[in-house]
C-alpha cells in the first residue's frame, strides 16, 4: 500500500447538515495524495448514515465510529493521528470547508521549509451560511499589518510576540502540521485540556520548529451557536487553561529576562480578567480565591508577580 503524504482527519459530532460541503471540499482538492480518516464521536443525528453514502465510491477513506462519545475534541485528534499514515496532518473540522487549492498551496510551503512544523492560511468566517470577514479582525489587536502578507517566522519569536497573548490559529482547519513533530513534542498532551488544547498544540509544535503563513484565504471557518468558541469566552476553565499554557511557555520558551517579563505580563492579563469580574473592591478576596484556580511556575516567580503587577494595577497605574 502506497503511503500518502497527507492524512486528512475529520472529527465529527452531530454536524450532518455541514458534512456534504465539508467532504466535497476535501475530495475536490487539486492535490490528491492524501488519505481521509473520518472519526464520528457517537453522533445522535444522521451523520454516520450520510457519511457512508458520501464515501461509498471513494478510495483511501476510513470511517471510525465511537459507540460512546469521548467527551474530548483532542482525544479524537490523537486517535486520528495515531491512525494516520501521512507525513503531514490536516485536521479538517466537520463544519468548515476549504478552497480546492488548500493542500496544493500549503503542501509545497511545508515540504520546502523543513524547519517549519506548521503551515497555515488565512480564513474567512462563515456566519449563517453567509461569507463574512477574514480572520484579520481576530489578529488586528496584535498587529494590523503582519497577517496581511505571507511570512515565515521563528518558533520562539512567534510564541513570545503573539501566541502568549491569544491563539493566533483559532481554527484548526486552516493548518497543516508535521506528524513527527507532533508526536515528538508535548503537543500530544493536549488531552489534558478541555477547551484550549488547540492553542497548546500549536505552541508545543513551536518547541523545535517554525511557522509559515499564506495570506491567501483558503479556509472557511463556520461560526454558529454550536461552536465551542462561542461558549468559552468567559468560562473559568479557559482562564485556568490559559494560565497552564503560560506556565508551559515559562518552562520551555524563556531565553532571557525580557521573555520572562513578557510571559509574566500575559499571565497577569489573564489572571486580572478573572479578578476584575468581581470588581476592584473585592480584589483581596478574589486574589485569595484565585489561588484555587491558578498555579505559577515557582515561588520566586510569584514574589515578582505580585508587586510588579497586582499592586500596581490595583491602583490603576
- pLDDT tens digits, 239-282: 889 999 999 999 999 999 999 889 988 988 887 777 666 555 55
Distance, in Å, from the CA atom of 158 to the CA atom of 161, rounded to the nearest integer, reads 5
pLDDT at 299: 65
Cα angle for residues 120, 123, 124 (degrees, 5° grid): 175
Among candidate residues 210, 231, 252, the one where a domain is terminated: 231
Residue 179: alpha-carbon gap to chain centroid: 15
Looking at the fold, whether 193 and 252 belong to one and the same domain comes out as no
Distance, in Å, from the CA atom of 13 to the CA atom of 69, rounded to the nearest integer, reads 9
% of the chain surpassing 90 pLDDT: 73
Looking at the fold, whether 110 and 206 belong to one and the same domain comes out as yes
Is residue 58 in some structural domain?
Answer: yes
- If DSSP states are collapsed to H, E and C, what string results for the chain? CCCCCEEEEEEECCCHHHHHHHHHHHHCCCCCCEEEEEEECCCCCCHHHHHHHHHCCCCCEEEEECCCCCCCHHHHHHHHHHHCCCCEEEECCCCCEECCCHHHHHHHHHHCCCCEEEEEEEEEEEECCEEEEECHHHHCCCCCCHHHCCEEECHHHHHHHHHCCCCCCCCHHHEEEEHHHHHHCHHHHHHHCCCCHHHHHHHHCCCCCEEEEEEEEEEEEEECCCCHHHHCCCCHHHHHHHHHHHHHHHHHCCCCHHHHHHHHHHHHHHHHHHHHHHCHHHHHHHHHHHCCCCCCCCHHHHHHHHHHHHHHHHCCC
Counting Cα atoms < 13 Å in the Cβ hemisphere of 68 gives 2
Q: Give yes or no for residue 163 having a pLDDT over 70.
A: yes
Distance, in Å, from the CA atom of 46 to the CA atom of 17, rounded to the nearest integer, reads 9
pTM of full prediction above 0.85 = yes
Is there a contact between 157 and 41 (Cβ–Cβ < 8 Å)?
no
Is residue 263 in some structural domain?
Answer: yes
Is residue 168 in some structural domain?
Answer: yes
Which residues, listed in sequence order, are joined to residue 178 by a DSSP beta bridge? 88
The more confidently predicted of residues 175 and 238 is 175
Instruction: Quick: pLDDT tens for 122-150.
Output: 999 998 878 888 999 999 999 999 999 99
Looking at the fold, whether 123 and 161 belong to one and the same domain comes out as yes
Looking at the fold, whether 152 and 175 belong to one and the same domain comes out as yes
- State the total domains in the chain: 2
Looking at the fold, whether 279 and 142 belong to one and the same domain comes out as no
Is residue 30 in some structural domain?
Answer: yes
Q: Give yes or no for residue 287 having a pLDDT over 70.
A: no
The more confidently predicted of residues 307 and 143 is 143
Looking at the fold, whether 205 and 257 belong to one and the same domain comes out as no
Domain that holds residue 273: 236-314
Is residue 207 in some structural domain?
Answer: yes
Looking at the fold, whether 216 and 252 belong to one and the same domain comes out as no
Looking at the fold, whether 219 and 106 belong to one and the same domain comes out as yes
Among candidate residues 187, 211, 231, the one where a domain is terminated: 231
Among candidate residues 205, 231, 257, the one where a domain is terminated: 231
Instruction: Quick: pLDDT tens for 209-226.
Output: 999 999 999 999 998 654
Is residue 1 in some structural domain?
Answer: no
Task: Mean pLDDT check: name the lowest of 5-19, 25-39, 117-131, 303-317.
Answer: 303-317
Looking at the fold, whether 219 and 241 belong to one and the same domain comes out as no
Q: Taking each helix axis from N to C terminus, what angle separates 47-55 and 16-27, rounded to the nearest 10 degrees?
A: 20
Kind of pairing between the strands at 116-127 and 175-178: antiparallel
Is residue 297 in some structural domain?
Answer: yes
pLDDT at 131: 87
Residue 291 — pLDDT band, cuts 50, 70, 90?
low
Looking at the fold, whether 118 and 250 belong to one and the same domain comes out as no
Q: What is the CATH number of the domain that holds 210?
A: 3.90.550.10
Looking at the fold, whether 219 and 90 belong to one and the same domain comes out as yes
Q: Give yes or no for residue 232 having a pLDDT over 50.
A: no
Looking at the fold, whether 76 and 30 belong to one and the same domain comes out as yes
Amino acid at each position: 500500500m502506497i503511503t500518502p503524504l497527507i492524512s486528512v482527519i475529520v472529527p465529527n459530532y452531530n454536524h450532518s447538515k455541514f458534512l456534504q460541503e465539508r467532504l466535497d471540499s476535501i475530495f475536490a482538492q487539486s492535490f490528491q495524495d492524501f488519505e481521509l480518516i473520518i472519526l464520528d464521536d457517537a453522533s445522535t443525528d444522521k451523520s454516520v448514515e450520510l457519511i457512508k453514502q458520501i464515501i461509498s465510491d471513494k478510495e483511501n477513506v476510513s470511517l471510525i465510529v465511537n459507540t460512546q462519545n469521548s467527551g474530548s475534541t483532542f482525544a479524537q485528534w490523537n486517535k486520528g493521528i495515531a491512525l494516520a499514515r501521512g507525513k503531514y496532518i490536516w485536521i479538517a473540522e466537520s463544519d468548515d470547508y476549504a478552497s480546492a487549492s488548500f493542500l496544493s498551496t500549503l503542501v509545497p510551503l511545508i515540504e520546502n521549509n523543513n524547519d517549519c512544523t506548521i503551515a497555515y492560511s488565512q480564513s474567512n468566517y462563515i456566519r449563517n451560511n453567509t461569507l463574512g470577514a477574514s480572520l484579520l479582525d481576530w489578529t488586528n489587536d496584535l498587529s494590523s499589518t503582519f497577517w496581511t502578507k505571507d511570512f515565515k517566522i521563528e518558533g520562539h519569536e512567534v510564541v513570545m510576540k503573539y501566541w502568549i497573548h491569544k491563539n493566533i490559529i483559532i481554527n484548526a482547519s486552516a493548518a497543516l502540521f508535521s506528524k513527527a513533530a507532533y508526536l515528538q513534542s508535548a503537543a500530544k498532551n493536549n488531552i489534558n485540556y478541555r477547551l484550549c488544547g488547540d492553542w497548546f498544540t500549536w505552541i508545543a509544535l513551536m518547541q523545535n520548529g517554525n511557522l509559515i503563513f499564506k495570506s491567501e484565504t483558503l479556509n472557511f471557518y463556520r461560526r454558529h451557536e454550536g461552536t465551542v468558541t462561542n461558549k468559552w469566552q468567559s468560562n473559568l476553565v479557559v482562564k485556568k487553561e490559559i494560565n497552564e499554557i503560560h506556565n508551559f511557555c515559562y518552562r520551555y520558551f524563556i531565553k532571557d529576562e525580557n521573555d520572562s517579563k513578557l510571559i509574566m505580563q500575559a499571565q497577569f492579563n489573564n489572571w486580572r480578567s478573572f479578578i476584575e469580574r468581581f470588581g476592584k473592591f473585592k480584589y483581596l478576596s478574589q486574589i485569595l480565591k484565585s489561588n484555587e484556580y491558578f498555579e505559577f511556575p515557582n515561588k520566586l516567580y510569584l514574589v515578582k508577580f505580585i508587586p510588579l503587577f497586582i499592586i500596581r494595577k490595583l491602583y490603576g497605574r
